[in-house]
Amino acid sequence: MIRLHHCHETRSMRALWLLHEIGADFNVVVHPFDKRLRSPEYLALNPAGRVPALEIDGRIVWESGAIAEVLCDRFPAAGLGRAPGEEERAEWLIWLHFAETISQHTAALTQQHVVLYEDSMRSPIVMQIEARRLEKCYGAVNGRLKGRAHLLDGGFSAADIGVAQAIYMARHFAHIELFADLDAWYRRVTARPAFAASLPPEGAPRLYAREFYPPWETQPDG
C-alpha cells in the first residue's frame, strides 16, 4: 500500500508527480494547508508538521528528496533514478536535492507575500534579495541545460521532476523567460501527462491566489 499525504501547490507535488510517472498504485490524502498539519495525528506521520509524508511498505517516509530516493529505489524499472555505482549517480543526487535550494527561497517569498497578511509585516529587502537568489538558481539550471534535453545526459529522471516542480512554485516570484534553455526545458517537462495529473484539480483551494507576485508592492486589500 502506498499513500501520499499532500497539500496542493507545495513540495509534496514532487512526490505526486513522481508517483504518476512511476505508474504505481497509490492513493492520496489531501490536507488543507493550515494548522491541522500540527495535529497529533498528522505529527505521527511527519513530526515536522509538513508535507509530504509517504506511507509505503509499512513504513513512513518524509522529506521530499528522501521520498524520491526511496521511490526510485523501490521502482527501478521506471528508470527515474540512478543507482549507486552508476556513472550519473552523483549528478542525479546533486540536482535532485538542488530542488530544495530553490524551494527554500520560494518558501521565504511565500511567507512574505502570502502568509503575512499586513504590509507592515513584510520586508521589501527580503523580497528583493530572495527574488534575486531565485534568479541565480535559474542561472545554475540554465547553465546545466545548455546542450542538454534534460538535467542528466541519460534522460528524464526524478531530478527533472524535483527541479521543475520547484520552478513551478518559484515562477510565482521570479520570471524564467530570460533563461532560454531553462524556459524551453521547463515547457517540455511540464507538458508530460504526469505533471498535469499532479496539479490541483479545478475548483480546489490553492496556496497562490495570483500568478505572479512582484518583489515588492503594496498588497491589495483582502
CATH of the domain at 96: 1.20.1050.10
Tell me if 33 is assigned to some domain. Answer: yes
Identify whether the C-beta of residue 82 lies closer than 8 Å to the C-beta of residue 89: yes
Q: What is the DSSP string of 2-56?
A: EEEEE-TTSTHHHHHHHHHHHT---EEEE--SSGGGGSHHHHTT-TTS-S-EEEE
Asked if residue 198 belongs to a domain, the reply is no
CATH code of residue 9: 3.40.30.10
Give the strand pairing for 53-56 and 2-6.
Answer: antiparallel
Residue 213 forms part of a structural domain: no
Higher pLDDT, 97 or 218: 97
Residues 118 and 35 placed together within one structural domain of the fold? no
Q: Count of CB atoms within 10 A of residue 52's CB?
A: 24
User: Which of the 8 DSSP states describes residue 120?
Assistant: G
CA pair distance 60, 201, nearest whole angstrom: 26
pLDDT class of 83 with cuts at 50, 70, 90: very high
Specify the number of domains making up the chain.
Answer: 2
d(CA 100, CA 63): 10
- Domain limit, last residue, from 78, 110, 136: 78
Q: Are residues 186 and 100 in the same domain?
A: yes
pLDDT of residue 221: 43
In a domain, 35, yes or no: yes
Same domain, yes or no: 158 and 98: yes
Q: CA-CA distance, 103 to 98, in Å (whole number)?
A: 9
pLDDT surpassing 90 at residue 222: no
Domain termination site, one of 27, 54, 78: 78
* pLDDT tens, residue by residue, 190-204: 999 999 999 999 999
Q: Under a CB-based contact definition with an 8 Å cutoff, are residues 142 and 181 in contact?
A: yes
Full DSSP string of 52-116 = -EEEETTEEEESHHHHHHHHHHH-GGG--S--TTSTTHHHHHHHHHHHHHHHHHHHHHHIIIII-
Residue 199 located in a structural domain: no
Domain hosting residue 32, numbered range = 2-78
CA dihedral of residues 78, 80, 81, 86 (deg, nearest 10): 90
User: Based on the number of CB atoms within 10 Å of its own CB, is 65 exposed (0-12), middle (13-18) or buried (19 or more)?
Assistant: middle
- Which of 78, 101, 120 terminates a domain? The answer is 78
pLDDT at 119: 86
Q: How many residues are recorded in the chain?
A: 222
Structure confidence at residue 219 (pLDDT): 47
| Residues facing 28 on adjacent strands | 4
Which range is least confidently modeled, 82-91, 186-195, 202-211?
202-211
Residues 95 and 182 in one domain: yes
Q: How many CA atoms lie within 13 A of 195 on its CB side?
A: 17
Q: Give yes or no: residues 109 and 180 share one domain.
A: yes
- pLDDT band per the 50, 70, 90 thresholds, residue 217: low
pLDDT score recorded for residue 216: 75
Q: What is the model's pTM?
A: 0.94
Confidence of residue 5 (pLDDT cuts 50, 70, 90): very high
- 186 lies in some domain: yes
